[in-house]
Amino acid sequence: MPGTATDQAVANIEALRRGYEAFQTGNLDLLRDELFDPDIVWHTPGRGELAGDYRGTDAVIGLFVKQFELTSGTFKVDVHDILGSDDHGVAIATFSGERNGKSVTDQYVHVCHFRDGRLSESWILDFDPYKVDEFFA
């Protein structure tokens, strides 16, 4: 039936939702041990300090730790919606943070590929990448 989510699509949506909750609460072990594929690749756009491709769970968790460090723990995400299919999950969200007397708020889309029930590849697409670059310069 068109428009009906499969069990795998629902599982991917739930995994992405759990991942965002874990990120927000600092439960990085849940991400590492249950939600991320060990060979995950995380693509962060731009030219700022955090831009680049991160390979493996340790590198991705290191990216998250650095985000929190650079923003003195103020980096947070507000998820607007999460969509999914058998192979992908997509989050529509807003992030915000403060750094060196500056603050930033920007919307983004987060596209995730799932393999065997785990997030295996991630692409962040910022609404205003220049603003994000300037913030993390």
Structural domains for the chain: 7-135 (3.10.450.50)
Distance of CA 99 to the CA centre of its chain: 19
Whether residue 89 contacts residue 82, with contact meaning beta carbons closer than 8 Å, is answered with: yes
d(CA 135, CA 137): 6
Q: Output the pTM of the full model.
A: 0.92
Structure confidence by residue, pLDDT tens digits, 27-79: 999 999 999 999 999 999 999 889 999 999 999 999 999 999 999 999 999 99
pLDDT over threshold 70, residue 2: no
